[in-house]
Structure 1
Amino acid sequence: MTQSILKGIAVGALALAAVAAAAPSAMAQDGKQIRIGAIVPSSGPFAEWGRTNTVTLKMLEDKVNAAGGVNGAKLEIVIYDDATKPAQAANSLRKLAGDDNVLAVAGPLTSSACEVTFPVANQMEIVAMSQASSKPGVAANNRPWAFRNTVDEAILAEESVPYLVDTFDVKDVAVIYDAKDAVSTAIATKIMPGILKEHGVEVLNDGDFLSFNTGELDVSAQVTKIISLDPDAVVIGADYSEAITVIREMRRQGFVKPVIGGTPLISSAILHAAPDIPIIAPATFYASMDEPRAKEFVAELQPLLKETSGLPESIEPSMYDANIYENVSMFIEAVEKAGVTGNPDDLAADRTKIRDYITNLKGFEGLGGPISFNKDGDAEKAFFIVRGEGEKWTTVVHGCSSQGGDC
């Protein structure tokens, strides 16, 4: 059933209504439920991602239950808000595993939260699969229960940096980053400088990187410093909402050199902020990509996002919406195919079955292509280096995170 959900995301209204009319009564006969947990930042600095994740999960829950549930049992996705606070994410996992008795957990979102939460998942022996964390080593350090449906930023930078250097004839760069965010710090101070130097690029402020803190609104002094260095390009380690502050200030001061960063830059909002500044970033999904399953996913989810209070009118499904949709879909497939009962007495055994199924999963049909997992718990999947300019993303490089190069 799970693969059919991903292959046929856009379900006709009449067909869905017909199934829904019959399915609930069948599921209600024994009252059995399949409970999956999710940890998303519905408040705090990354609230937009958390809110769209929540809409995405509700859409999936409704779709699965309208089609008869999971092995005839009703799917319930229990969602907790971690407010983008690592300690709150860890506490949320404890509640989901210990009080709500969920079978597996999708999340948390940030690498900072995963660094604190994944050890708890190991202690409680429950799968936790992040939809966004991409700081190197975060899942690898917390095996065997930690997974990430993402690609390590170091792998992605090996493809994005050569494109930047060759396309824009980059000889030197300046670096600025959000010092409060783990993956942003790793991208800007470790990953990018090392790979740029391998390609003969000078890091003008090496050892004296410019920084700001999450939520800081005035970065004029930092941008003035960047301009004084006169780099060919700027490395920004930040999520898109924080990077927008830097990019707008660059534009205000008349500096429109190319920008490069990691997956957290991917958003339609950043394109609208400065359409004349080229932005190079990696993605495993973006809303305007041509993959048929991705198009169907966007067509179904985007209207729901636009109807949701508090989200911007220009909102589009994000990479992290696609990832969390895939996370729960993989959990559902594990339940269906690995002999998971969902009975309270079998909880520990069921969690182990899900872990083992995900560990050995090969070629799951995700929204952007097949997904498998490597020994570190990270996804092996297709990715794209995209160029943002003129308010749209365009794929410029196709890549694959599998060591065998087969995605």
Structure 2
Amino acid sequence: MRIRAKQLAFAATAAVALLAVSLPASADVSGRAVKIGVMYPLTGKGATWGKHAQIGIRLAVEEVNAAGGIGGVPIKLVEYDYQAKESEGITIINKLATRDNVLAVLGPCFSSVCEVIFPLLERLQTPVISYCSAKPGLSKLSDWAFRNSLTSDKQLAPVVSRWAKDYSIKKVVIIHDLEDAVSKAEGSKVLPMLFKREGIEVLDILTFRTEDTDYSAQITKIKSLNPDGVGLGSCYQNAAGIIKEARRQGLSQPFVGGACTGAPALIELGGKATEGTYVSTAAWMDDPADAIQAFVGKIKARNGNKAFPYSAPRGYDSLLITANCMNDNGITNEKGDLASDREKIKKCWANVKNYPGVSGSTTMNEVGDGAGGNRVLKVVDGKYVDISG
């Protein structure tokens, strides 16, 4: 049994078994290891996204290697912490492509870093697959760039609509991070567009910087405007601080968050202040399906039994899709075939259709962005509850 690259139809429920069946397709793989590079934000802003992506990706590698690797050769990860810094991202992508000679790269997570490294890929000729970047438009920067995630306009449309309906929102204030790429895009473009679509008046757009910890001035301004709700373009750390300050100043208005807001760490950091906040997620791990819960059990066994963001399942699926692309398209792993092996992986990723992973169905659109569904979540009694229905 072989799995066609354009269909990638091995299911998460039996990923290891199907990989084991299909692995002989790459019978002439050379070397001691097939190298895949990974870029994580393990320190700095958004570290929980990076740490859980690492857990998911390493789990996928364990499963692939247990099933025989790629044509009998194990996958080896070449991992770097880019610290959520653009300069580190540029240095690392050059190392991975030209010194480490990896066949493909998973990451980076943050759009700010994708924005500066994707334009380099035409020169580096290396496929890069981000597992959680969400700023609209970035995959257009290179044919070698892919994102196994939903862009924030697609993520936020259903949650904004539901939030506006549930809370009868007519007037809002937006507050967003000036430095984080996706948060800035959400606050300055995506949320204004979605609010306009819902007939909601934007009273003002306020800003802060990633390193800020004091939001009292912004909240005082919001309080004076008395909106029905507040739209957040922010990663979870800043979002938690903003919501806590709002509650400290006596604001009871509901918040709706962006793509980087909806990590479990928002609730951990913000506590009771986050009650009633709406976010969306590109993967929902409370799905009762056996395959999903088996995956959840494996991740929680590795992270101290904690809730986790969608970077874990998206990272896991991204590794398995990449492994299947390698296996099903005849990579050799020969030094002289590096360019052609990379080209095969790129073409395969461009044709991913309806891959049924633990994060949901993955299809690449015409520009290399993942398309699929997402869930609307509300913080209720200290946890996220799916209210999509």
Q: TM-score of the superposition, structure 2-length normalised?
A: 0.90
Q: Distance in 2 between matches of 1:376 and 1:60?
A: 26
Per the TM alignment, residue 395 of structure 1 is displaced from its structure 2 partner at its CA by 2.1
After superposition, the Cα gap between the structure-2 partners of 1:255 and 1:124, relative to the gap in structure 1 and judged at 3 Å, is same
Per the TM alignment, residue 139 of structure 1 is displaced from its structure 2 partner at its CA by 0.7
CA contact (8 A) 2:48 2:265 kept: no
Partner residue, 2:68: 68
Partner residue, 1:51: 51
Per the TM alignment, residue 146 of structure 1 is displaced from its structure 2 partner at its CA by 0.5
Residues 223-267 of structure 1, C-alpha deviations (whole Å, 9 max, x = no match):
121111111111111011110110111122222221112221112
| SS, match of residue 370 in structure 1 | strand
Partner residue, 1:284: 282
Q: Distance in 2 between matches of 1:336 and 1:30?
A: 13
After superposition, the Cα gap between the structure-2 partners of 1:287 and 1:271, relative to the gap in structure 1 and judged at 3 Å, is farther
| SS, match of residue 260 in structure 2 | helix
Query: Relative to structure 2, which stretch is displaced further, 224-233 or 45-54?
Result: 45-54
| SS, match of residue 263 in structure 1 | coil
Partner residue, 1:382: 373
Q: Distance in 2 between matches of 1:228 and 1:289?
A: 41
Q: Distance in 2 between matches of 1:85 and 1:279?
A: 28
CA contact (8 A) 2:232 2:256 kept: yes
After superposition, the Cα gap between the structure-2 partners of 1:376 and 1:359, relative to the gap in structure 1 and judged at 3 Å, is same
Partner residue, 1:321: 312
Partner residue, 1:7: 13
| SS, match of residue 210 in structure 1 | strand
Residues 47-99 of structure 1, C-alpha deviations (whole Å, 9 max, x = no match):
22222222332222222222221221111011111111112112211111111
Q: Distance in 2 between matches of 1:122 and 1:50?
A: 26
CA contact (8 A) 2:53 2:311 kept: yes
**Residue 349 (1) aligns with residue 308 (2):** no
CA contact (8 A) 2:50 2:311 kept: no
Per the TM alignment, residue 9 of structure 1 is displaced from its structure 2 partner at its CA by 7.0
Matching residue's letter, 2:150: V
| SS, match of residue 374 in structure 2 | strand
Q: Distance in 1 between matches of 2:387 and 2:16?
A: 28
Q: Distance in 2 between matches of 1:298 and 1:241?
A: 24
Partner residue, 1:23: none
Show the 5 A alignment for 1:6-405.
6-8=12-14, 31-140=31-140, 142-205=141-204, 209-272=205-268, 273-275=270-272, 277-306=275-304, 315-397=306-388
Q: Distance in 2 between matches of 1:199 and 1:382?
A: 20
Consecutive unaligned residues of structure 1, counting only runs of 5 or more, are 12-18, 20-26, 307-313, 399-407
Aligned residues: 373
Partner residue, 1:15: none
Q: Distance in 1 between matches of 2:55 and 2:246?
A: 34
Matching residue's letter, 1:278: G
Partner residue, 1:16: none
| SS, match of residue 174 in structure 1 | strand
| SS, match of residue 285 in structure 1 | coil
CA contact (8 A) 1:38 1:106 kept: yes
Matching residue's letter, 2:357: G
Q: Distance in 1 between matches of 2:206 and 2:256?
A: 15
Residues 286-323 of structure 1, C-alpha deviations (whole Å, 9 max, x = no match):
343334433221110112112xxxxxxx7422111111
CA contact (8 A) 1:291 1:367 kept: no
Residues 102-128 of structure 1, C-alpha deviations (whole Å, 9 max, x = no match):
111001111110011111122211111
Q: Distance in 1 between matches of 2:338 and 2:49?
A: 30
Residues 151-192 of structure 1, C-alpha deviations (whole Å, 9 max, x = no match):
121122322222111111001011111111010011111111
Per the TM alignment, residue 346 of structure 1 is displaced from its structure 2 partner at its CA by 0.9
Per the TM alignment, residue 38 of structure 1 is displaced from its structure 2 partner at its CA by 0.6
Q: Distance in 2 between matches of 1:84 and 1:361?
A: 28
Q: Distance in 1 between matches of 2:358 and 2:227?
A: 37
Matching residue's letter, 1:188: G
Question: Identity over the aligned pairs, expressed in percent?
Answer: 30
Consecutive unaligned residues of structure 2, counting only runs of 5 or more, are 21-26
